[in-house]
Amino acid sequence: MPELEGNFLATENFYHTSKFFGLHSKSFLSDLMVAGEKFCHGDWSKIKKKYSSFNEGELLLFCFSSAYIIALLHDTLKMPLEHKRINVVNQIHGVPVDWALGAFIVQTTMNRTEYSDSSVSYLNSYDSSGLAPIFLITIVVVFTAFSILRWRRPQLKTIYDMEKGRYIITRVSR
């Protein structure tokens, strides 16, 4: 696997886990490893009392998440524990960032010929003119599918037969 280059934005689970442990963006992996080990190996009765606003399942997820992040970034992607190029965020210029937006950004930067190494400057300069035809086609397809499904759905009339004590459902012609 080639060595990873550039700065990295860690969002979603990375952000929520680092916020839970009170971590800062820099030297994130080493601090997360220490905090996660201390938390996961702690006395769970004391942990539940300390974090009473969280249920046990959520606390277990933070324990799992700390181990998962270390396994993914350090063990699998070979990032050093003192990696200084990871920025843990949930917003960029006031815009909430989640995994779907992150995937979109990665895809668009891979398709661009000019690449800026600055952390997130490409968000301000993205040209979205190519999205209009895709958006229009999507609307036409959704409208067509909706129309076909509505047309194919049978029109039914329900009547309650008081003598027989049951409902009678009949098809109504269009």
Q: Flag whether 71 is in a domain.
A: yes
- Between CA 108 and CA 53 the distance in angstroms is 39
Range of the domain at 13: 8-123
Q: Do 24 and 50 share a domain, yes or no?
A: yes
Q: Flag whether 53 is in a domain.
A: yes
Q: Do 104 and 163 share a domain, yes or no?
A: no
Q: Do 40 and 111 share a domain, yes or no?
A: yes
Of the three residues 85, 104, 123, the one that is the final residue of a domain is 123
Q: Flag whether 2 is in a domain.
A: no
Q: Flag whether 3 is in a domain.
A: no
Q: Do 95 and 142 share a domain, yes or no?
A: no
Q: For the whole model, what pTM was predicted?
A: 0.55
pLDDT tens digits for range 118-145: 555 555 555 566 677 787 888 888 888 8
Tally of CB atoms within 10 A around 161: 9
Q: Do 109 and 151 share a domain, yes or no?
A: no
19 Cβ contact list (under 8 Å, min separation 6): none
Q: Do 118 and 137 share a domain, yes or no?
A: no
H/E stretch holding 135 reads helix 131-152
* Residues of the chain predicted below pLDDT 70: 1-2, 25-27, 99, 101-102, 111-130, 151-154, 173-174
Q: Flag whether 1 is in a domain.
A: no
How far is C-alpha 85 from the geometric centre of its chain's CA atoms? 21
Q: Do 136 and 115 share a domain, yes or no?
A: no
Q: Do 143 and 95 share a domain, yes or no?
A: no
pLDDT tens digits for range 108-121: 777 654 444 455 55
Residue 113 confidence (pLDDT): 47
